[in-house]
Structure 1
Amino acid sequence: MSTELDKLLIRDISRLYEDSDDHNVQIQVGHGSNVRVFKAHSVILRARSSYFRAALSSNWAKKDGDYMILHQPNISPIVFEIILKYLYTGKISMDDMNIRVNYTCLLAAADELAIIELIDHIQEHVIKNDAALLKRKLVEFLTTTARHEACSKLHKYCEGVICDDPIKFFSLEEFYYLDKSILINILKKELFNIKEIEVWDYLIKWGKAQHPKFPSDMSNWKPSDFSTLKETIQDCIPHIRFFNISGLDYYNKVRPYKKILPKELRDDMEQFYITNQIPSRSIVLPPREKGGIDSKIINPTYAAIFASWIDKKEEPYQFHYIPYKFELLIRGSRHGLNDYREFLKRCSNKGPTLVVIKVRGSNRLLGGYNPVKWCASGGYLSSNDSFIFSFDNNNHMTKPILSRVKTPDRAIFNVEDEYLGFGSDLEWFAGICEQNDYQQKIYNGIEFIMEDYEVFQVVKL
């Protein structure tokens, strides 16, 4: 009964937003030509926001007749309307396009108005339900969340996306408009799946982008151009791990910019590349960690996708947050490419496993997840959770195909010969892939030749 009464109370308060003639607050929102005046009730605003409790106090509020007057120039009218409706009704439709295109503005406005529960709600929703949009607008989300401490959860998520695939981030056109302080925080990261010389390359590109009038040909640069670039990126230099760059890359890509480096660092690098001795004057940062998966075929981004498929999530995890560890059991190129007996020796009775196959002569990946075990039992093992997959392009991961089991009783074919595999769909030692016991066809042909394969034990954390 109390639940029904609560609903009635919320309904009646909500009516104040739509239809009321006893407002006592006027809020001028926006600036320039984009200004709108909203009317509201001080009792509602005070109850819902600590910011309004202070702003509408007798010490702060300005009055014009019967109205208290507030100004919110930093918030757009369309965003304030969404927030005001939320304050009255307790509802916000996260699927509404007006809300989706204004996520970052809503976060900034909610922080300014001290509506912490709304910030938390938006952060959770974006991470769980709209991560794809965040990745498309990554720089916008990163910049907004860096400026608002209350958005730290979403900011950490953005940083995780960058660390998982830094090349993709650095390749964004918006990267060149990134604030220097945010760039420095990224350069400080230890876990980075990228070569250090690539970090240097993108830093130089960012620095040049701040001065579009620089000559494109460095041979035409004046001393003042080098001085300007030095001043632009000097705060970033301490976070580049120069002593993890090869001599060839140093000569071709760092040395041409030696004028922008501190003299002591230049001298130490020359000593290092000539004598191979670590200098004692410069701070030598350790190599960045490359991620936590031992593989020649896949990177952490793939592992995050596989983990999401295991847990039947629509959006992939970030690698740093996946609830599994992928431990390498066998690699074909190391332990025997076509030796199914060695596979059974190393992989039998290990519990859930993931098989990843590189097809010779292409960038095609095939594979499957066995949630039960391999054991050469001489027959089929049943599972409702197994799946097989294909990636059309190993480099860009376009068009992945996920095919879940269709005939659970024939999910895993455990035999002691080359025909073991996922039902009768994927028998990698036999080089056969055709659609039978799983929902979708994952390979255009029927036969293939392995270039390499890896099997990982999937350990729940």
Structure 2
Amino acid sequence: MIINFLPKLSQNLLDILNDEEYYDVTIEVGNGPHIKIFRAHMVILHYRSTYLRRILSTNKNKNDGTLVHIKLSNILPEIFQIILRYIYGGRISLEEYDTSDIINVLLAASELGLQELITYAQSFLIKTKADWMESNFNLIYQTSFENDSFLELQRFCIDLSSKEPDKIFNSPNFSSIPENLLVSLIQSDNLQMSEIQVWEYVLKWGLVQSPELPSDTTNFSKEVFKTLKNNVRQCIPFIRFHNLSSEEFSDKVLPYRKILPKDLLYI
């Protein structure tokens, strides 16, 4: 018969974290005025974090009694506190934290090589924070594709952009999505909006990319049209102008004729 004493073991390890006598590592976390020093134990860090293991391996032959000191400037102290408790106790309750904090936990877990936590945090976000991620799609998209470890979040972004692209167009942060994503969206066969709406969204996106541009076309100079044309040039070939009515084309597209290829003016 096997009896599970893991909860007690987990608590004992958390008690070790709070020990002020036998620690042999100090970790300086944060940057600028927001720096905090944490005490820890080399043997636990070595076996729990691949990143810290590499750092600690350079100090393994020191026997002069001096403390090993590690600097982690890219992680917020309050996030590292959460991570450190997970490293010691093997427990974490993401329900207690804001979504932005969970993303910071995920980023810190990636930096520290905590694969188990990376997998769990991604799963938690997808299962419980899907609405938030749709509303903040640009942040999730950029975060996931900047890191090869975030495959589940990448899959979430790909699925949403291919199956429900309308949600991205209607998100509050639509105008901040990257150009390659916008091009991909307007090519989607699952886009449940009219072509004139697509055109208006592309214009909206193009204008925001250069905040100095006026919104009223009557005030557009030759240079303004040139800037706007450059902003949306990758999108224009994928807009189905032939699906527009003659009235839509006349009222909504022709005022921007200077950003269009000449052949479009004769459709």
TM-score higher than 0.5: yes
Using the size of structure 1 for normalisation, the TM-score is: 0.51
Are the structure 2 counterparts of residues 169 and 116 from structure 1 closer, same or farther at C-alpha, using a change threshold of 3 Å?
Answer: same
In 2, distance between residues paired with 1:150 and 1:11? 29
- From the CA coordinates, give the structure whose radius of gyration is larger: 1
**1:145 correspondence with 2:144:** yes
In 2, distance between residues paired with 1:69 and 1:54? 14
Q: Which residue of 2 aligns with 1:193?
A: 192
Structure with more of its chain in strand, by fraction? 1
Q: Report how far residue 20 of structure 1 moved.
A: 4.3
Aligned 8 A contact 2:45 2:53 in 1: yes
Aligned residues: 266
Are the structure 2 counterparts of residues 73 and 189 from structure 1 closer, same or farther at C-alpha, using a change threshold of 3 Å?
Answer: farther
Q: Report how far residue 192 of structure 1 moved.
A: 2.4
Q: Report how far residue 146 of structure 1 moved.
A: 2.9
Task: Give the partner amino acid of 1:169.
Answer: I
Task: Give the partner amino acid of 1:157.
Answer: F
**1:122 correspondence with 2:121:** yes
After the TM superposition, which residues 188-337 of structure 1 pair with which residues of structure 2 at under 5 Å, given as runs?
A: 188-238=187-237, 240-243=238-241, 245-248=243-246, 249-261=248-260, 263=261, 266-267=262-263, 269-270=264-265, 273=267
Aligned 8 A contact 1:28 1:72 in 2: yes
Q: Which residue of 2 aligns with 1:77?
A: 77
In 2, distance between residues paired with 1:245 and 1:18? 67
Q: Report how far residue 93 of structure 1 moved.
A: 0.6
Aligned 8 A contact 1:61 1:68 in 2: no
Using the size of structure 2 for normalisation, the TM-score is: 0.83
Are the structure 2 counterparts of residues 226 and 70 from structure 1 closer, same or farther at C-alpha, using a change threshold of 3 Å?
Answer: farther
Moved more, 212-221 or 7-16: 7-16
Q: Report how far residue 65 of structure 1 moved.
A: 7.0
Aligned 8 A contact 1:30 1:75 in 2: yes
Structure with more of its chain in helix, by fraction? 2
The C-alpha deviation readout for 1:7-27, integer Å capped at 9, x for no partner, is 444333232223242222222
Task: Give the partner amino acid of 1:66.
Answer: T
Q: Which residue of 1 aligns with 2:27?
A: 27
1:235 aligned counterpart, secondary structure: coil
Task: Give the partner amino acid of 2:155.
Answer: K
1:80 aligned counterpart, secondary structure: helix
Are the structure 2 counterparts of residues 174 and 201 from structure 1 closer, same or farther at C-alpha, using a change threshold of 3 Å?
Answer: same
Q: Report how far residue 211 of structure 1 moved.
A: 2.1
Gaps of 5+ in 1: 274-461
Q: Which residue of 2 aligns with 1:284?
A: none
| Greater relative contact order structure (CA < 8 Å, 6+ sep) | 2
In 1, distance between residues paired with 2:242 and 2:91? 52
- Percentage identity across paired residues of the two chains: 32
Gaps of 5+ in 2: none
1:10 aligned counterpart, secondary structure: helix
Q: Which residue of 2 aligns with 1:15?
A: 15
Q: Which residue of 1 aligns with 2:179?
A: 180
Q: Which residue of 2 aligns with 1:43?
A: 43
